[in-house]
Amino acid sequence: MSFHEIATSLEPFMNKDGETFIVVQSGAGERPEQVAMSSDLARKLVRSKLCPLFTKGFATDHETRVAIEVIEAFAFQNPRKEAEANLGLDMARKPLARAVLAIARSGGTKKDLPQLLAMLLRTAQRHAIDFKKGPWPENVDALGKQLSSLIALMEKMGVILQRHETERPRTWSISALFDESEARDADVTAVTTVPASNNNDSDTSPSLTAQLAELTDDDIMAQINGDPE
């Protein structure tokens, strides 16, 4: 199997935010799963598929990293679409969402942004949520933006995350979640699948990304192996 065939078989695509996903079949007869390229799982899947391409029988970290960049280039060429909801993986990649869920499980809260940011940090520390492995707000402005992006996801978890626009100072509330059956994932604060990196920005610009997607298999292997052009 050539590299192009491997990349095509993974059906890479980007969402509107520029995050890359691949499509994998976890088992015979099971529904294909969309996995974020930023996750450890995706890196392991790509590395396993690369093994037959090398006489040594495995791919190094460098080879895997370059291969992922090329796969992202293939994704860039494909039409944008939204990934199907996979709550477990989505929550695993978002430590702030897991901290919000933990607060909901403890009865919810309503606070202004500085108080809420401090509470979220304490909650993350108490529940051993690694807030360094994923986007985490460093100030109240960033917190407001990230909470807004989590509203739809938290609703799927059974939690109402609401901004009270008419109140000053800026105030948000997290509803209580007492019925665990409301959430599709039983214990997302203990999810072990974490992202390999919290940086979704690729080093490749759109123009370079497009060039990568046009490479031949020989060119790609030269890139992976670090051969001079």
Give this prediction's pTM. Answer: 0.49
Q: 119: which 2 tokens?
A: 């509470």
Rounded-to-integer distance, Cα 48 and Cα 82, Å: 26
The residue extents of the domains of the chain are: 3-84+201-225, 94-190
CB 71, CB 46: distance < 8 Å: yes
Of 6-10, 186-190, 210-214, where does mean pLDDT reach its minimum?
186-190
CB 152, CB 212: distance < 8 Å: no
Amino acid identity of residue 117, one-letter, is L
Confidence of residue 197 (pLDDT cuts 50, 70, 90): very low
* Fold adopted by 94-190: Aspartate Aminotransferase, domain 1 (3.90.1150)
pLDDT tens, 14-51? 888 788 888 887 665 567 778 888 877 888 888 888 88
